[in-house]
Amino acid sequence: MELQSLRLKRHEERRLLGGHLWIFSNEVDTQETPLSMYKAGEQVRVQAHNGKLLGTAYVNPQSLICARLISRDEAVLNHALLVHRCEQALRLRTQLFDEPYYRLIYGESDLLPGLVVDRFGTHLSVQLNSAGMDTNRTQVIEALKQVIEPQSIVLRNDSSIRTLEGLPREVEVAWGKAPEVVELRENGIPLLAPLQGGQKTGWFYDQRPNRAMLRRFVPGKRVLDVFSYVGGFAVQAAVFGARQVVAVDSSRPALEMAEKNAELNGVGKIFNGIEGDAFAVLRQLKAEEERFDIIVVDPPAFIKRKKDHKEGLRAYHRINELAMQLLQPNGILLAASCSMHLAREELQDVLRNAGQRQDRHVQILMEGMQGPDHPVHPAIPETRYLKAFLARVSKR
């Protein structure tokens, strides 16, 4: 079937020619090709103002990002292209990891805009985060079935991004028999993750290398994991030889699974969960004069949208300063942020500021980012979102 065209305004092809995949609604020549012409998820030929073909994209007239490129020629998003892109993504992950536990597809960076797939062995957790991917859900599932031959595919279509795309939020099993809980291995350690009831896709693979950074530092130490979720940092720290770990999270089911993860690894006895608001819990621990050798602070994105920047930045300052107050002399603070609107320099400045205010000497020893199964697209800054600093904090 012949695709409709979408024409850009004069000079608005520059970002695409620079490698980017997105078209914003104000870049479209709406005199010539009004966005109301297209259905959400429809594929179009993208043309520069002079008529030159820039590629094929899918459209969402009601989103600020009104189109995302899926090829730089006439290739449309069909079974063959989806299979090819999934195979390319799989090839990278099998090169990176020995075992099938990773982010298999990371949206734009794998040239599959709006599609996220996490793999737990034979189970897949999928997010269709754009109208284009949502429209093509049957084809996406068929391609994943062909490339991975999974036992189950769960659609975790409950992220807030879907609201921006005008899509409903829901969780459904799209294929096979999906368990409630899946097993994975990370940094050599077996762990459990909630496939259907957990947060996001069920597990945060992006922190894998940053969890591994702790290995050197934790033996014999007392560790506090703030915003622990199901214990990614806490349980690995315990297995790496910590003397005691304390995990803080506001979600009881997350803490219950963290405890299960500790038991699974034979470190249940040294694991303690505290349910509550992290800010309040840290203040309470301080009042009780508790101290820790190592503290991990990995909050949810405090800055979800640009307009939350000021308030969110303040929250990063507050929580890291609180953490610093709970550190033993020469303690280690691992401060992370998954807010793409927070620059790495800003997180570094959070540490500087906390050190100044608490009269401590801060030394950043290591810097981490998301793991390589979340590759960065060099033209799309948003694909680089996770920051982590590992710092020593001492008296001065």
Q: Would you please indicate which residues are annotated as catalytic (active-site) residues?
A: 338
Query: Tokens 């800003």 — which residue?
Result: 346
3-state secondary structure of 74: coil
Cβ closest to ligand SAH, residue 40 vs residue 324: 324
Q: How far is CA 317 from the centre of its chain?
A: 21
CB of 248 to ligand SAH, least distance (A): 6
3-state secondary structure of 75: coil
Cβ closest to ligand SAH, residue 132 vs residue 194: 194
Instruction: Report the distance separating Cα 207 and Cα 189, nearest Å.
Output: 14
Instruction: Report the distance separating Cα 272 and Cα 285, nearest Å.
Output: 13
- Which spans of this chain sit near ligand SAH (rule: CB under 6 A)? 199, 204, 207, 227-229, 232-233, 249-251, 254, 277-278, 298, 300
Cβ closest to ligand SAH, residue 143 vs residue 319: 319
3-state secondary structure of 392: strand
Identity of the residue numbered 1: M
Contacts (Cβ under 8 Å, ≥6 apart) of 84: none
Find out whether 69 and 21 touch, Cβ atoms under 8 Å: yes
CB of 285 to ligand SAH, least distance (A): 13
CB of 232 to ligand SAH, least distance (A): 3
Other Cβ atoms closer than 10 A to 367: 15
CB of 226 to ligand SAH, least distance (A): 7
CA nearest to 380, candidates 66, 82, 22: 22
CB of 265 to ligand SAH, least distance (A): 15
Residue at shortest CB range from ligand SAH:
232
Strands 222-226 and 244-249: parallel
